[in-house]
Chains A and B, each alone.
Chain A
Amino acid sequence: MIATTCILVLSVACSAYGNVLTRRGLTQLGPLEDFRLRHLLRYGWTAVRNKYVLRGVAVNFGQFLTWLIVLSWAELSWALPMNALEYLIVTFLGWKLLGERIEPRRLAGIGLVSVGVLLTMLSWKAR
């Protein structure tokens, strides 16, 4: 279980950092507003040439590989909720690196989610 948890934490950290990088890149691009195919393709093409989006995709690929290892060891209903650890990391990084304002309601929601994660973790039975 310790090895599973370590790889899982690594996977979650990759996911959080990937989201931060991608969001930063997309903030430079601006919100997607036009859903016509030609515009979608152009938006996607611009996105994949953005260095932050590109780095985000690379980091998320690392997340995918480590996640495959976790899935070979653990039950999905245990492994999946553990990804909620990402919320704590993302909230901190969003506030610190992207200037997001964290209001009390959002913080309370994250708190509830975290307790839920803890309970889910306690329900782990040795494989």
Chain B
Amino acid sequence: MRRALAFVLAATICGCAGNLCLRQGMIAVGALPGAAPAELLAFFAAAAANPWIWLGIALEIAYSLLWLAVLSWSEISWAVPMNALEYALAAAAAYALLGEPVGPLRLAGIALICGGVALLSGSWVQAGTAADVSLTHRI
């Protein structure tokens, strides 16, 4: 569990930094004006030309690799909610770096999310492998 927790922490830090970069890039790209094919194409082309987007993508790839390791050890109903650790990090960083306001309501929401994550972390069970997990459903 400690190893999984450490990897989740490292992954959320990468994910949070990645999202900050992506949002920084999307501020430069501007809001998607409409859903016409030409508009979508120009939108994604502008995104692909932005260095912040590429830095964000690199960090998201690091996140994905760490996440892959976590998913090899842990049940998804344990690991996925752990991503909420990112919210506390992101709210602090978005406030400090992007100047986004964080009011009392949002702060309360983030606090509840963190409390929920603390409860969840105590519910770790050693996840099974293919041998003892039912894999009969088609998905």
Chain B: residues with Cβ within 8 Å of the partner, total of 64
- Which A residues from 69 to 127 make CB contacts under 8 A with B? 69, 71-73, 75-78, 80-81, 83-84, 86-87, 90-91, 93-103, 105-106, 108-123
- Residues 106-121 of B contacting A (Cβ, < 8 Å): 106, 108-120
Q: Chain A, interface size: which category?
A: 35 or more
In chain A, positions 43-88 with a C-beta closer than 8 Å to chain B are 44, 47, 52, 60, 64-65, 67-69, 71-73, 75-78, 80-81, 83-84, 86-87
Q: B77 → chain A, closest Cβ, in Å?
A: 4
**B-chain residues with CB within 8 Å of residue A60 when the two chains form the complex:** 64
Pick from A20, A86, A114, A116: contact of B139, CB below 8 A.
A20
CB distance from A99 to the nearest CB of B (A): 4
B-to-A contact residues, CB < 8 Å: 19-20, 22-23, 26, 29-32, 43-44, 47, 60, 64, 68-69, 71-73, 75-78, 80-81, 83-84, 86-87, 90-91, 94-95, 98, 100, 102-103, 105-106, 108-120, 122-123, 125, 127-130, 133-135, 137, 139
